[in-house]
Structures are given as C-alpha cells and as structure tokens.
C-alpha cells in the first residue's frame, strides 16, 4: 500500500514536526542521515532515480534499528591469532515480508544488510470507497513460528492494510513480528496498536494526520509511483 496526497503538487502545506515523544511501542529513528534523506524524498521534484536510491539507503539505516534487539549467542571461532567465543545472531534466518507493491522498495537496502533473510510477500490493495484492505496474494517462508518477521511498507496510513498483513502472518504461525515504515500517521499507529499491541513499530517520522481520503499529510506522495515512475 502507498500514500498519495490529494493536493496539487504546488499546494503549500505547513511543515509538521514529529511528536517530541513517540507513543509507547513506536521508535522514531531520528538519526541525522535518516532525516536528511527523508527530506530529500519528500521534495516533489526529486527524480525517480534519486527517490529509488534514497529509499534503498534509508531502508538500510532503518534496518539497523529494527534489528537492534535480535537475540544473540556465542560460537567458537578461530581468528588468525587464536580461538575465541564470538557473538553471533541466534535462531533461524529472519523473514522479511513486503506489503506489495511499495514495500519492495525497502527490501534491497535491508537485504544488503541481512542477505540471508528469507523473503515473503503480502498483496493487498486499499478499496478507494471503504479504505479497507483486499487481499490478492500471500506467499511467505515456512516455519514462521521460529523466525523473527519484519514487515515492511513505506507508509503506515490508516493502518488497515498493515493490521491485515499482520493478521495473515499470525494465522501462518508468526509470533515475533516487527513493523518497519518510512512515515506513520497517528491514526495508523492507533489502528495497529489496537489490533496488534505486541508488534513494535519502527519509523523515520510521525506525520501530522490523514486527509479525507486516508492519505498521510504532509507525506511524500505515492511511494510506489515515485519509486517505479508510474502514475
């Protein structure tokens, strides 16, 4: 799912800062590089090529935060000088789950950091009248009950699609799920936390609100269209 403002490109919108304190269960990644790249992505005249590159770069930075609490263990290794007990990630390979289509834009950067991750896809589109998600595709790795699942979608707008995707993953056995996005609206955060209070949310920014069409304001436009050069 993606976010597309209903305002004309030149319509002025007052800048909105993220809340000084994020809600419990939500992490706002305020690293200077993340915020700088996000600003470049928000600008309406950023080219498709630049938008795609920035999305890959910022997703790698966000992946650092979403993996901060991975369980660790040690294993015996041999360095060129001696043997040692060295830290290593514990458990099965992570599951990286993209909410199609815009979620795919976050995949490459994360896979650069976690190349061994297993990959799955949830296909949902938002009914323009009801704003409710409609499923059209679902393909995920096996043994989700033994994996940490990271769900990615650039926009957490109404939260309906994100909550539906997590519903499907839980039905498939997932127990440890984390949600990663670029932008979140307060309404989307509220919806996700009502439906799945056990799922932490990691985002680069919390924007002001949703407009009457359910789109994030000020937002950054339709992430899928800007990434793929479509309308």
Q: Considering its fold, how many domains does the chain have in total?
A: 1
Rounded distance between C-alpha atoms, residue 177 and residue 131, angstroms:
24
**Could you tell me which residues are annotated as the binding site?**
101, 126, 153-161, 216, 221-223
Distances (CA, A) of 103 to 74, 82, 89, 115: 33, 44, 25, 17
- Is 170 among the domain residues? yes
Confidence of residue 210 (pLDDT cuts 50, 70, 90): very high
Domain that holds residue 149: 26-71+82-228
CATH number, position 202: 3.40.50.2020
- Is 216 among the domain residues? yes
**Could you tell me which residues are annotated as the binding site for 5-phospho-alpha-D-ribose 1-diphosphate?**
101, 126, 153-161, 222
pLDDT tens digits, one per residue of 106-155: 999 999 999 999 999 999 887 778 767 889 999 999 999 999 999 999 99
- Is 61 among the domain residues? yes
- Is 6 among the domain residues? no
Adjacent-strand bridge partners of 28: 203
- Is 140 among the domain residues? yes
pLDDT at 10: 43
Which residues are annotated as catalytic? 126, 130, 222, 225
């Amino acid at each position: 799912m993606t976010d597309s403002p209903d305002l004309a490109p030149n319509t002025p919108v007052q800048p909105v800062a993220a809340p000084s304190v994020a809600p419990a269960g939500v992490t706002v990644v305020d690293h200077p590089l993340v915020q700088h790249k996000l600003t470049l992505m928000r600008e309406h005249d950023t080219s498709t090529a630049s938008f795609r590159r920035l999305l890959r770069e910022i997703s790698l930075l966000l992946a650092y935060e979403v993996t901060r609490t991975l369980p660790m263990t040690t294993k015996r290794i041999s360095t060129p000088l001696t043997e040692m007990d060295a830290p290593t990630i514990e458990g099965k390979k992570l599951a990286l789950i993209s909410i199609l289509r815009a979620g795919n834009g976050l995949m490459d950067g994360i896979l650069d950091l976690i190349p061994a991750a297993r990959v799955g896809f949830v296909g949902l589109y938002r009914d323009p009248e009801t704003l409710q998600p409609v499923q059209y595709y679902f393909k995920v790795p096996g043994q989700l009950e033994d994996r940490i699942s990271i769900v990615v979608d650039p926009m957490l707008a109404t939260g309906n699609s994100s909550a539906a995707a997590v519903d499907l993953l839980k039905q498939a056995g997932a127990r440890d799920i984390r949600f990663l996005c670029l932008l979140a609206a307060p309404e989307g955060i509220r919806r996700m936390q009502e439906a799945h209070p056990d799922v932490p949310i990691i985002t680069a920014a919390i924007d002001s609100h949703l407009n009457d069409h359910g789109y994030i304001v000020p937002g950054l436009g339709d992430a899928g269209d800007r990434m793929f050069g479509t309308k």
